Amino acid sequence: MNFEDLWSLNILASALMLMGMFFIITAVVGLIRFPDFLTKIHAISISDSLGVPLFLCGAMLLNGYNLATLKIAIIILLIYLVNPMITMEIGSYFINKKSEGSDD
């Protein structure tokens, strides 16, 4: 990581990354502690929508004014779009299937 000499930028980026990590840890704790499959995927969707994008925003700030920053922004957009869609697909399949019990 190239830390520039601007300490406020470092503090802001570190704060964003720490918040992102906090949300990811919350999501994982929820994944372990929630009882049922549907509630578990509801808990893990927090890391997709809030945890990883906050962390990557912190990475964008540290990267400077660069082409790589635009690429990270595109990655954040793709994660926002695709991961909740997949979660919804999995949940909808789980609700609508008519066979035997749940495999966790």
Partner 1 sequence: MIELGLSLDVILESFFLLLLPILAVAILFSENMAAIAIMSCVFSMVMAVIYLLLAAPDVAMTESAIGAAISTAILIKSMQLTQSRILSDKFFCLANIISFFALLFFGAMMIYGFADLPDYGQGSAPVNSYISKDYIKNTPSEIGIASSVAAILASYRGFDTLGETLVIMVAGLVVYFVMNIERPVQVDLLDEKAEAVYENKIWMTDYIRTMLLPVSLILAFYIQVHGEISPGGGFQAGSVLSSIFIFYFVVADIKSINFHKMIKTLLKLSFVGFLIYLLMAIYTAVIGGYFLEYYAITGTLLGHKIGIFIIEIGVGITVFSVMLMIFLLFEYKLQSKPITRST
Q: Is 103 a binder of partner 1 (CB under 8 A)?
A: yes
- Among residues 19, 86, 87, 102, the one that binds partner 1 under rule CB under 8 A: 86
- Residue 70 binding partner 1, by CB under 8 A: no
Which pair of tokens denotes residue 64? 């400077």
Contact (Cβ atoms closer than 8 angstroms) between residue 77 and residue 68: no
Query: In the complex with partner 1, which residue's Cβ is closer, 5 or 103?
Result: 103
Torsion of CA 81, 82, 83, 85, to 10 degrees: 90
Distance of alpha carbon 27 from the chain centroid: 9
Q: Is 85 in the site for partner 1 (CB under 8 A)?
A: yes
Q: Which is nearer to partner 1, 26 or 83 (CB)?
A: 83
